[in-house]
Amino acid sequence: MTATAPARQVEPAEDAHREELAFLAAHDDGLKPPGWRLTPRAVVTFIVGSGGDALALPKGAKADGLPKRLVISPKFVGERALVERAVVTLAGERGLLLVGEPGTAKSMLSELLAAAVSGTSQLTVQGTAGTTEDQLRYGWNYAMLLAEGPSPRALVPSPVLSAMRTGGVVRVEEVTRCLPEVQDALVSILSDRRIAVPELSGTDAATVHAAPGFTVIATANLRDRGVSEMSAALKRRFNFEAVGPIGDLAAETELVRRQAKSALERVGAPFAVDDVVLEVLVTAFRDLRDGVSGEGWAVERPSTVMSTAEAVSVATALGLADAYFPSDRDPLSLLPGHLLGVVRKDDPADAAKLRGYWDGAVRRRAESGARTWRRLWELRDVLEG
C-alpha cells in the first residue's frame, strides 16, 4: 500500500508550480548561468507570467508528460523591469537585497526567484534577534561529536553552507533584525565565498568553497531600520531593489481576489465575495495607505501599514464568513469591523483616523450616489465599538 503524502497548508513555490517550471525548462534552451535550472528569460516569465499567451514547446523538446502548450500564470504583481534587474543581479552571483514596507511581497518574490533559479526555495535563514552565526555557518550533531569527535558526518550544515555546496540560492529573511555580529558573518561569506571549518583542520572538509551559482537573496523591512542597521561593508555586497505597493487598483484587486480564492480552495470552500465588495475593500486600503483618495481628497494615514497582504487577509476572512455563515450577514456589512481591526494594530487610537475616513471619503462617495459606498456609510456605527 502506497503512503499518501500529508496535506500542506502552503506549498513551496517549486512544488506549487512544478509543471510550469518543468515546462519552461523544456521551452527555453538558451544560455543559462552556471548552476541555474532555467534561463534568465524563463525565470522572468515564470514570475510575471506569459501575458495570457500560451507558450508552445519547440519541436524535439523532451516533453516527459508535459503539455504541448501552457499559459504561465503571473505570480508577482509589479514592474517587470524590477524582476529583470533582480534576475541579472543573481546571474552575476551578486547578493540581492529586496527592501520595502511590510506586505509588499518581498518574501514571495525571493521565494519565486530561488525556486526558479536553483529548484528550491527552502534554503532559508529567518533573521531575528536570536539568530546566531551557527545558523549562517554550521553546527554540530553533539551526540555524534561526543562519540567520534569532529568529523564531516557530525557537522550540521546551515542553509547557507548547503547552498554554497550545491551552487544554489539561499534566502535570508529580515536581515536587519539580525545582530551586527551575525551580519558581519554574512559579509565574510559574500566576500570570500567560502566557509572555514577549523575543527576539521587537516581534512578536505576544512574549507567549503562556494560552487558556481551560489548567491544570497535577503529581505529588509523599511520599518525595521532602527533594529540593526546594516553596515556599509554589508550594503556594498548587495544590489538593492525597492519593492513598492502595487500601483494599479485593478491589478491589486485581482491579486487580492486570486490569493483569497486560493485560501478558500485550501479548505474546500467556494469564494463568493462580490467583485464590487473586493474593489471597495482594496480602494479603502489604498486610500488609507497613500494618505489621499483616488479623487484627491486628503486622508489621515494610520500608523499601521495598510498592505496588500493585509487586504488579502480581510478578503479571505470575508470569504470564510460567507462560506461558513451564509445566511447571517452579507460580506460588505462585515468590512468596517475588519478594517477597524487592521487599523488599530499599531495604535488603538488610530480608530479615530478610520472614523475620519468614513466621515470624509466614504461620506462624499455615498453622497455622489454610489450605492455600495452609501451602504458603507450607513454602517459607520460599527466603528464606535
pLDDT of residue 5: 64
Sheet holding 124-126, edge to edge: 124-126, 169-173, 215-221, 95-100, 238-242
pLDDT at 328: 73
pLDDT for position 225:
65
What is the 3-state secondary structure of 209-227?
ECCCCCEEEEEEEHHHCCC
Average pLDDT, the chain: 92
pLDDT of 226 strictly over 70: no
In 10 A of CB 382, how many CB atoms?
Answer: 17
Average pLDDT over residues 48-67: 89
State the pTM of this model.
0.90
State how beta strands 194-196 and 207-209 pair: antiparallel
Q: What are phi and psi of 216, to 5 degrees?
A: -125, 135
Residue with cell string 527552502: 122
Residue burial 267-300, b: 16+ Cβ < 10 Å; e: rest: eeeebebeeebbbbbbbbbbbbbeeebeeeeebe
H or E element at residue 195: strand 194-196
pLDDT of 227 higher than 80: no
